[in-house]
Structure 1
């Protein structure tokens, strides 16, 4: 019987893994400089947390969650996103009581959604995200957007577009909601069953429907920006002002929505504009939320965050033809000619590795020529040859694989030689 990786998942082999590590290293460094500290939450949570924290009218909750009942008859769900768990931890551990607010959190790890597999989208995927909870300052909206943009820029992406919008405050959302219902209700029978269900529960999500996106009513739907009150408009202007100060280009798109009820004010997406990327261009999405902390049992604290897929980041790099520089280079390959030399090779390899020198030796009992080919294949910078004469001389023949030059170096001086040449 043969086994294959489950549909919608993937094996990340060593060659690709080095790229993942480079991206994760970049992310962690930027989070450190922006002071977003890592939080690690469980891979599964109470199902109700996601029903409350993601929204029971969303496709994620209605169609995509991996939910199971455990032996204690509790309903648990593999996390489909990271915000709900981070906010739950914020409330449970009373981080709102810390003297320094906002609390700035970051996370990176696997998420799970049962959705149709397509390029860069998997049923198990890795998501990086941040949450800044405890501030209503528009400057932190710009900071969160800046961090997301800098991740993409630092790994080498250039074909990017930032789109922003304002969803207004609760008063604005209610007025817009009523206008949407009045707009769509006379013709709701023309829309898909999902949109028909959304009309009363969350009509804003109709605007985000992929099935009915070409319906003419989408173009003429009331725009949120037409309903912005003075406070919301001022807030949005401040966010744009801070983005201008940071030199971050953006487009305002009145049709950009975040469909959850507790989203307020700033919403944004970062898209790939590379021609080879595909039709679904979104790389990252985020927004400001008010009410979510209360929804999971905490005080009235505002927050803002984003989430990005690492798979889609790598796909965007591929579309732009960009290569990540990884640190997986082999420094030393030790060629051993006989059993006595093999023992010395094992000893030297241990010494080199203890000094941080990436080292490999032959474990296949190959001839010298085959070992040299293996060293070349693996891109070794140096090859050390050990044979009967080298053991007698207490010195290794050291070959520079780039220049082809070779010299004998005493065993006791090998570490110094390799580190200084």
Structure 2
């Protein structure tokens, strides 16, 4: 017997009963970004592999272990995007929209791909909403990104479940000095490091700070601190960011071990973390990458951004029971019609109502059926009310109006008064 077809491990279907929460989350975010003056950009999900090697760094875990890379028919090496910043930088460079110091405040949404071990909240195809801002170099725009996310958490009802962690990585020069001091210290304790940290010591030593290994964490207690190696420019920038967050009243924790997993970060880095999702604690993260555009062939261009994981935030909404009740209902009104003449009249009536109430979720029965079967479908749809068109209603040019979710008797409503009646009843329902 042939093997049944199924989705690739770690790449999941999002089923109809799940999509209302996704649409609610995505709609909430997009409205917020519109209100702050951000514009949407859409990039391909496949890029030349070289893009990610040059931007993320060849010795990062993402490039070394996690990318989905393949040769196309032309022999070009292509990669499914593992993150969005590099692709966004490529797009603004290719189309010249940051030239001449033009400020661009952009956002995007879509799937990313990393070959990781699938677990709850971590998948091989996952979805992100990302923001990127170009040609603003002050701490005010860093603060705006964080303030926006703080407002988003409030609108979603999860503000009490997240915590902001901050750090500054300084400029590439100050980070280089710190890297030398860190390598010297860790080399003296080489035998106490876990195997992964020993490997990273040679390739990407700052990532050792990110280790979850308890023995290595014990070694890091007395390790040099990034703050002691910051240049004055980075120090002033970081103080400016903290002052703005203090002014707005956003609490934060300084985390000197926060380095992020990508080579391009400089100065500000931040993460929003939670203890409500087990091991997958980061729900939004980002920072400043002032050298990335130049590194990718453009002119020196300040940049800052973040990305948030949709799967994890949807999971948080579900875990904390912060899903609006109306999302459970995808239909407001269900129209049942009996007989061909009633079906035709019902179609015309439904379209007139939709003209007058464009936000009403009105479903017309399809497939005919008996009175009992149509009402069963109306009830299963979750609709608040059923509309009934039969021979008697057709003769009187009325529609039966029956509540399905509460008290109330069935009544007859004239066709030309139906939209006004529904506007009142559905809102009340």
Which TM-score tier does this pair reach, normalised by the shorter chain?
Answer: over 0.9
Alignment match, 1:317: 317
CA distance in 2, matches of 1:13, 1:71: 34
**More displaced stretch, 158-167 vs 371-380:** 371-380
Q: Say whether the 8 Å CA contact 2:192–2:219 is kept in structure 1.
A: no
Alignment match, 1:105: 106
Q: CA 1:74/1:212 → structure 2, altered by over 3 Å: closer, same or farther?
A: farther
Q: CA 1:418/1:257 → structure 2, altered by over 3 Å: closer, same or farther?
A: same
Alignment match, 2:291: 291
Match of 2:260 among 258, 270, 273: 258
Alignment match, 1:271: 273
CA distance in 2, matches of 1:218, 1:18: 45
Alignment match, 1:15: 17
Matched, 1:410 2:414: yes
Alignment match, 1:161: 163
**More displaced stretch, 204-213 vs 50-59:** 204-213
Query: Secondary structure, in 3 states, of the residue corresponding to 1:163?
Result: strand
Alignment match, 2:370: 367
* Structure 1 alignment gaps of length 5 or more: none
CA distance in 1, matches of 2:58, 2:207: 12
Q: Say whether the 8 Å CA contact 2:106–2:132 is kept in structure 1.
A: yes
CA shift for structure 1 position 326? 4.8
CA distance in 2, matches of 1:326, 1:64: 39
CA distance in 2, matches of 1:105, 1:407: 52
Matched, 1:390 2:390: no
Deviations 1:97-146 (A, max 9, x none): 25642x11111111111101111111111101101111210111111111
Q: Say whether the 8 Å CA contact 1:19–1:326 is kept in structure 2.
A: no
Number of aligned residue pairs = 418
Q: CA 1:166/1:94 → structure 2, altered by over 3 Å: closer, same or farther?
A: same
Deviations 1:30-66 (A, max 9, x none): 1111111111011110100011111111111111100
Alignment match, 1:128: 129
Q: Say whether the 8 Å CA contact 2:193–2:215 is kept in structure 1.
A: no
Alignment match, 1:232: 234
* Structure 2 alignment gaps of length 5 or more: none
Q: Say whether the 8 Å CA contact 1:287–1:304 is kept in structure 2.
A: yes
CA shift for structure 1 position 367? 2.3
Q: Say whether the 8 Å CA contact 2:56–2:263 is kept in structure 1.
A: no
1:4-403 alignment, distance < 5 Å: 4-97=6-99, 100-101=102-103, 103-157=104-158, 158-211=160-213, 214-274=216-276, 277-326=277-326, 329-355=330-356, 356=358, 357-401=360-404, 402-403=406-407
Q: CA 1:149/1:213 → structure 2, altered by over 3 Å: closer, same or farther?
A: farther
